[in-house]
Structure 1
């Protein structure tokens, strides 16, 4: 092959490789742009102002999951029209909860060497206050009815509740004094009437009572899960019932809705929603046959809301809390709903 021919072959190869690279970049750019555009059939989302104040009419604030420039932002819809247009706040959260004019937002911060996470206290106008580094991937968040206490759970080992190879850490913050309990594992544990010590003890899924002293949560130890009642003053927890995960206390504080592992279910989808009467400890299976891996939210004393996988990542459904009725879709592309007003 002559030198002239070799040069010609090299030039052709360079042109071809350049064309392939350009096509790849354009394809990647198109895919990125597609994520920034609202998905066809998705809800309309517009910029606006959102308040966490108790007044202002019945509404639901939640994490928007629809693709587009407002994905992961806190948005608001009227409670009477949950499928309608959404008002976006500009505040992004992976997990969120609010009550009493106070919010807790678990966020990801993207850096050159990887993601880090933090918990941010929000005021009624969604202005950031104190923030705290998180030791793992955000999982659950709750605020007490008065807004004084906030709790969050993160995965510090593993990333799913489905198996047994995971570790969590649950913190409780007094937003009034700034006192942070970095892990509920610091609390004394009373299990079956006796003081319990075990290195494998994990806690997650806090739900608060109105008295700003007591709470309920899940405790795992010895391969089993328990509903525990906690005391923030005594710094102790006491087991109440077995096979309870991610409890949610009803507004009248008479029942807990939770996810329960049921026999015969797939290993990666083992849960069904149940309600527990706190006076009698009688369980009632709710009318949802799909596996629910979520900490349900009470919309009122009769109805709970929870997420299931959907086309946008997650959709929200409602269900009567007494075992009757059937699941109903509340909205598409939503997560972590909070009823306000």
Structure 2
């Protein structure tokens, strides 16, 4: 079977399954229609989201208020410091593509990709962009899937086509295996260090990477889709329940200096790479029964309860102004 055929099958399967993760506690959100017209968003910090796959923004102070909707379609999106990254949707005729846009939404960079769009991040400076696509499979809850994760330096144009090119160590020992996969990059403030998930041998690790040295090293197990806090001290992530992704994931926070884990107050399985709203709050998407998404937030210290932020949306990212 050709790679294009596998991608089309994955697209069809994803559409049928709706990307639903296994839930170990069910919670439904109100079914509402999502806005399709441009509203007047309050000035100040904004939250960028995708509304039915269309790039949109809402006021961070009033995220359930008016929504400014563009005509830019993305399967995944993320923004930081004026740079916006978008993974274009796959269809029967075209493969996905990474496009990097400026504040005016004009295209600055473009990278042709093969696979099904999955994860996307921009470093805090706006310089580095990372993406993950599924090459085979379409769910992290299964076995036998294959991913490809790359990184683009928007300043120099240098590109890492796959993190599998890097030298990996597990607990200090060199490691190389054909079953190794990477996904969910998050960048440190220096634009050289990064964190990601590496799976191999039936285990899923948090790794710290060095772009200059082209190395990754393991830090902890059962850490998927990491997101580094603004102060650089904690990782928000999804942790497989009892180490088994088929049982779903618990949203958690890892303290990097101590490796202490704090499960968050979201009881529903979260199959998403979370985003930090600030140093105390984490945002993420949950899928509704009708197949669309809502953006929620929860305190990063394990207290409180989830709060519905934006209805009918996913891919949250804070835009300061």
What is the TM-score normalised by the length of structure 2? Answer: 0.86
What is the distance in 2 between the residues matched to 1:291 and 1:147?
30
Q: Which runs of 5+ in 1 are unaligned?
A: 1-39, 51-55, 66-71
What is the distance in 2 between the residues matched to 1:232 and 1:266?
29
What is the distance in 2 between the residues matched to 1:244 and 1:136?
23
**Higher RCO (CA < 8 A, seq sep 6+):** 2
Alignment of 1:1-341 (within 5 A): 41-47=32-38, 57-65=44-52, 72-108=53-89, 110=91, 114-263=93-242, 267=246, 269-310=247-288, 311=290, 313-341=292-320
Q: How much has 1:109 moved relative to structure 2?
A: 5.3
What is the distance in 1 between the residues matched to 2:85 and 2:236?
21
What is the TM-score normalised by the length of structure 1? Answer: 0.81
Over 3 Å off, 4+ runs: 47-50
Q: How much has 1:44 moved relative to structure 2?
A: 3.2
Which secondary structure state, in structure 2, belongs to the residue aligned with residue 116 of structure 1?
coil
Q: How much has 1:195 moved relative to structure 2?
A: 1.1
Structure label with greater radius of gyration? 1
What is the distance in 2 between the residues matched to 1:109 and 1:184?
22
Contact kept, 8 Å, 2:34 with 2:51, in 1: the verdict is no
What is the distance in 2 between the residues matched to 1:114 and 1:313?
24
Q: Which runs of 5+ in 2 are unaligned?
A: 1-30
What is the distance in 2 between the residues matched to 1:265 and 1:309?
20
Q: How many residues align?
A: 288
